[in-house]
Structure 1
Amino acid sequence: MSTTVVDVWGPVAPGARSSFPPAPEPHDEWALAGGTAWVYYSPLNRRQLIRPVILSDGFSSGSSNLDQLWHGLEENGDFRFISELHATGRDVIILGYDDRTASITANADTAIDCIRRTIAERVGRSRLVVGGFSMGGLVTRYALAKMEQDPMLPDHETSLYLSYDTPHHGAWLPVALQAFTHFATDKWGDAPGVGPVLRQFSGLLNSPAAKQMARWHIEKAGDTPEQASERLAFLQALDELGGWPRNVRRIGVANGVDTGTGNGVKADATAVRCNGETLTDTWLKTQAQGEQEVARLQKAGEDPVSVRTSGLPDIDGAPGGLFTAPSPAGDPGSFGLAALLMGLLGNEVDPDVITTSCFIPSISAVAAGEISDQKALYQPITPDGSELDAFLCAGRNEGHTTMTEELGAWIVNEIVSGE
């Protein structure tokens, strides 16, 4: 299974250079307020913008990386998404941001700028297709809704909105992993080598965008997991805009199944454990219902810190897009990331690591239920249960935002048939 993703975390080391091959030179490049749009005209349109499709980047560190985006859309999976859109006469505009950790509402203003520029550059009157991957789906959802409700903004002239494994009802990152990241940053954030890596991950978890997406968030190891105030404010702002753009057809796909079948990760299992130079009998567990100790964190020579949760669902094993985090060591997954960090801190990690977990539950990606609801997480998804007009879930639980023929071809067909 291919698990390299478009947009999750980016390079582990701050300032690390992209390991992806260079993307083809865009036909045009637009400097936007807060971002950049890379324009690739369809060969059928003789370098004119005739039938535009805007695809937004999502969450990661720093600014958008065109090479990484192109790789994810064209070369990562078994479906060449941009080429297939080009073959139907669609022009592709890849929308990137100067800061992918900035608030969703701030980057939505960049998306609005991109939509306005697209309309200005378009030849003819074909309506737009606008959407995005992961957080990019939330950014464009908010942008289109704002353009409909704000009388100072022009008509978005969009007929179709699409989202690709977008956390419409929230994303999940294990509380145990969040706690370990903040704990390790507090203890070794100033250490040479590993310190910048720890600070980067801790900072990402506490960034505005991450707080807005995470259904359960903690700012430091001892906090009670809950929705951050930034998330509550974003949800209220979205609700004030009507929740969704209304004058478009809304479609979406999930990288998880719709059958209710989980990914095989068992609840309350030890996901990763280590001992060594800096950590003593430190372990993280997968999430379970009820009262649970999800992590034991102990710096060598100090008292242990116990991390506890209450009332959360068995969500690590839920159907949905799997967490992957590109790094020099590959794609370690959520708990695999913890194992990587433990190793960097000079410890020996037990070999039986549960590497990954659910990241975007299927019911979140297709807006079909609350991810805090244990029953809803594991029950089949029906068409009438979704807030989308049409959706498709994958035939298996696979890496978040993985481009597959199954999902990519369905989207292309929806775009073509919607004319």
Structure 2
Amino acid sequence: MSEPTEQELAEAFRSAPPIVLAAGPSETTATPPPPNETWELPGGTAWVYYGAGHTTLTRPVILADGFNTGPSTLEFSWEGLEVKNHAFISQLRAAGKDVVLLGFEERSASILKNAETAIAAIQRANSERRSDRRLVVGGFSMGGMVTRYALAKMESQGIRHETDVYFSYDTPHLGAYIPISLQAFAHYIRKLDKRFSDQINSDASQELLWRHIETWDAEPGVSGVRNDFLAALEAVGGWPQIPRKIGVANGVATGVGNGIKAGETAVKGKGLGIIGTDLRTQPTDEEALAAALRVITWKKGETHAAGLPGVDGAPGGTLHGFGILADTLNKILGLGVNDLIREHCFVPAGSAVAVRGLDTHDDLFRAIEPGEGELDEFLCSSRNEEHTKMTAELCDWLVERF
């Protein structure tokens, strides 16, 4: 069997679905019931389901969608929040809450832009609710950052949001993590298929990622786009001050990691067109080789990432980032790989509950104590589990506080 040509690989990539490093189902089979209302908003859509016994909007709970590429869809949200694991939408409606699923025209657009859609949804909910019950507003993953900024901006401008509770569900308040090796591979194959690279370099991705590289041979650092976003967040006060602020994490508070070791090979090329590729978890040794890169006959490249802690194994919500890439490559002739490690920590528990960042091993692995951080109250999961996985443990805790 001969090695595939660059043209053949480019055609194969273009015909395959894009590689998307994001939580939630890659495909949906859910058929959600028709919503009671659909709101067309600037930059997005909201799908409204009344709570039990309601015939009008009475006790709205706004749930903002998280990071991905392309537009939010009702089917995707329904699959993740109702079908795949715990039936959170049904739980809320049974408790008399009206569910407002907030989606965006482009989920990888700037958090600042999508926050304008969230503001429009908050104002619409307040104009339509037929009770004196104030709102619950929040979101999942990036959605928690979008609504955090939206509420804080409204307060900074003297706009009433009538919100009693702000919540976040495994939101990367202090940063999210995609292995440098995966980022490097995305940029390395850009001339074959730029979609993976575009996702890593999207505004929302750069705003969320703790460390980012724009090209495969760049040195990891804090993106200027993230710095601009953090400055904008600080300019509106950092957090909304009026509502009670609560949050949950898909990672544990004990400091016990997920068992993934630093500097281990996660994805290794075995097909003729990719032999030599070696994508690793974040190394902590002096060599700091994060990735060896080779596709077809291109010169082999190396990406180094020195001075960073072993985030892959940290306690927190996980993402099957290595697995998502491997599954795509294994469908392309000549690009077969061994996927030795499929997942990595994506949102460390300390980031999800706004206690501490990702800068050191101690930050990542030290136990989290009640009362720490910026939230008024939080709950960490009893196990490290998939990022934004809906569980009875976390959802019951939230509903009791809504």
Superposition TM-score, scaled by structure 2 size = 0.91
1:120-135 matches, within 5 Å, as 120-135=127-142
Matches within 5 A, 1:191-230: 199-230=194-225
1:339 equivalent in structure 2: 326
Aligned to 1:60: 68
Structure 2 residue identity aligned to 1:20: T
Tell me which amino acid in the other structure corresponds to 1:30: W
**For residues 14-413 of structure 1, what are the structure 2 equivalents within 5 Å?**
18-45=27-54, 47-77=55-85, 79-151=86-158, 154-186=159-191, 188-189=192-193, 199-291=194-286, 292-323=288-319, 333-347=320-334, 349=336, 351=338, 353-413=340-400
Mapped to 2, the partners of 1:240 and 1:249 lie a distance apart of: 20
Q: 1:143-182: per-residue Cα shift (whole Å, max 9, x none)? A: 000000013xx20000100000000000000000110111
Identity %: 46
How many residues of Structure 1 are paired with residues of Structure 2 in the alignment? 381
Cα distance in 1, alignment partners of residues 254 and 106 from structure 2: 36
Unmatched 5+ stretches in structure 1: 1-6, 13-17, 190-198, 324-332
The answer on whether the counterparts of 1:315 and 1:358 sit within 8 Å (CA) in structure 2 is yes
Shift, 1:334, TM fit:
1.2
2:313 is paired with a residue of what secondary structure?
coil
Post-superposition shift, 1:352? 5.5
Q: Offset of 1:396 from its aligned partner?
A: 0.8
1:349 Cα offset (Å): 4.4
Counterpart of 1:176 in structure 2: which amino acid?
Answer: S
Which amino acid in the other structure matches residue 164 of structure 2? Answer: S
Greater Cα offset, 347-356 or 385-394 = 347-356
Please give the alpha-carbon distance, in whole angstroms, between the structure 2 residues aligned to 1:106 and 1:303.
40
Asked if structure 2 preserves the Cα contact closer than 8 Å seen for 1:274 and 1:347, the reply is no
Question: Cα 1:184–1:345, aligned 2, differ >3 Å: closer, same or farther?
Answer: farther
Q: CA deviation at 1:338?
A: 2.9
Q: Cα RMSD between the aligned structures?
A: 1.6
Query: In structure 1, the residue corresponding to 2:312 is in which secondary structure?
Result: coil
Structure 2 residue matching 1:272: 3-state secondary structure: strand
Deviation at 1:23, TM superposition (A): 1.0
8 Å CA contact 1:266–1:286 kept in 2: the answer is: yes
Alpha-carbon separation, structure 1, partners of 2:295 and 2:22: 29
Query: What amino acid does structure 2 have at the position aligned with 1:92?
Result: V
Determine if contact 1:54/1:95 at 8 Å carries over to the other structure. yes
SS of 1:102's equivalent? Answer: coil
- Deviation track 1:3-23 (CA, whole Å, cap 9, x = no partner) reads xxxx926787xxxxx532211
- Which segment is superposed worse, 343-352 or 314-323? 343-352
What SS does structure 1 have at the residue aligned with 2:38? Answer: strand
Question: Which 5+ residue runs of structure 2 have no aligned equivalent?
Answer: 1-20
Name the SS for the 1:43 alignment partner: coil
**Is the partner of 1:238 in helix, strand or coil?**
helix
Q: What's the CA shift string for 1:64-104, capped at 9, x where partnerless?
A: 01111112111111x32111111221111110001111100
Q: Distance in 2 between matches of 1:357 and 1:124?
A: 44
- Whether the 8 Å CA contact 1:10–1:60 is kept in 2: the answer is no
Note the C-alpha offset of 1:391: 0.5
1:336 CA displacement: 1.4
Question: Residues 68 and 108 of structure 2 are in contact (CA less than 8 Å); yes or no, is this contact kept in structure 1?
Answer: yes
Distance 1:362 1:9, change over 3 A: closer
Residues 109-135 of structure 1 deviation map (CA, whole Å, 9 limit, x = unaligned): 000000000000010211100000000
For the 8 Å contact 1:320–1:398, the answer to whether it is kept is yes
Counterpart Cα distance in 1 of 2:328 and 2:51 = 44
**Equivalent-residue separation in structure 2 for 1:34 and 1:23 (angstroms):** 22
* Aligned partners of 1:288 and 1:315 also within 8 Å: no
Q: Shift in Å at residue 341 of structure 1?
A: 3.9
TM-score calculated relative to the size of structure 1: 0.88
What CA distance in whole angstroms lies between the structure 2 residues aligned with 1:142 and 1:278?
Answer: 45
1:316-363 deviation digits (Å, cap 9, x = unpaired): 00000011xxxxxxxxx1111232343244346454610100001001
Contact 2:52 2:97 in 1 (8 A): no
Amino acid at match of 1:200: R
- Give distance in 1, aligned partners of 2:259 and 2:123: 45
Is contact 1:285-1:295 (8 Å) kept?
A: yes
Name the aligned partner's letter for residue 125 of structure 1: D
What does the per-residue CA deviation read over 1:361-390, in whole Å, with 9 as the maximum and x for residues that have no partner?
001100010111210100110123221111
Partners of 2:165 and 2:246 within 8 A in 1: yes
Look up the equivalent residue of 2:315 and give its one-letter code.
P
